[in-house]
Amino acid sequence: FSASVIVITMSLLLPLSLIKDLSALAFTSIMGFMAIMYTVFFIIVRFFDGSYELPSGKFLQDGLIAAMPSFERTSLWNFDFTSLILASNLGLAYIAHYNAPNFYRSLKNTNAKRFRFMVNIAFTVLVVLYTATMASGYGTFGDVCEGNILLNYHPNDILSTLGRLATGFSILFGFPLVACGARESIIGVASSLGNNALGSEKNHSLLVAGILAFVTVISCTVQDVSLVVGLTGAALGSFIVYICPPLIFAKAVTLVKGPGSPESKRAQLNLVLIPFGLLIALLGCISVLK
């Protein structure tokens, strides 16, 4: 497994991640989106066709699936401490802030109105996809859903096999966008600390290689993807969603309107979200690690 990850990183992820202009990744992004659409499609199909329905589903007869579907704890309105795991995952699912400046610059005939329209469409599609996938996956397997839902399906289920392949392609084609955001963020932090050389052209390849090396080590050592997603969503998701925006907004209003102005005082009220974000991050991390 580790050898395969290293080969894919060196031969595919590294060349794609070295690309600076996001518009050059438009084709691979479309391919990744199509792969995701297929995976969502097959999860929905398996929910409706009864292949995993108790007790006579065709993929439940030979005992080869990881766990038989169970709905003992199923409740439409169930909300408890473990729900924070979902909140943590959602915190990561809707994070695209790190690439917003690059998306804005790469957008054709870019302006604030067109960018807002694009963002509204993208997030609407995401809500539909996430809702359909979660509802269909849980409706198929219930309480025994794995962190990676694809692991619940039968090894001889051809649709799930293609789904695993499609998911691999979507990660492969989508990774350069994440790497680009990480690269820009690291350069920004380094510049704010007085190290402008990190963003120079000669350091571009070394920086990208360093990011990939870090990610590759994690992927080779951590087996449970839900642990990574949960912790990242709980900690970083809470920071980006609840903590960072009020800090930026309050500072921006103070700079524009002046300290002590009515607008600045109203903006300071948003800072109450910071302790809330810290609490959500803490509880989310505890839920994931339990």
Residue 26 has pLDDT above 80, yes or no: no
Residue 50 has pLDDT above 70, yes or no: yes
Place of tokens 């929905």: 44
Average pLDDT over residues 8-37: 83
21 band by pLDDT with thresholds 50, 70 and 90: confident
Cα dihedral 94, 95, 100, 102, rounded to 10, equals -120
| CB distance 107 to 99 below 8 Å | no
Residue 37 has pLDDT above 90, yes or no: yes
Distance in angstroms (rounded) separating the CA atoms of residues 246 and 214: 30
* Cα–Cα nearest to 22, from 76, 85, 127, 102: 102
Distance in angstroms (rounded) separating the CA atoms of residues 187 and 179: 12
Report the pLDDT value the prediction gives residue 1, as an integer from 0 to 100: 62
Distance in angstroms (rounded) separating the CA atoms of residues 179 and 213: 12
Which pTM was predicted? Answer: 0.74
Which residue type occupies 240?
I
The CA distances from residue 44 to 72, 89, 131, in Å, are 22, 20, 11
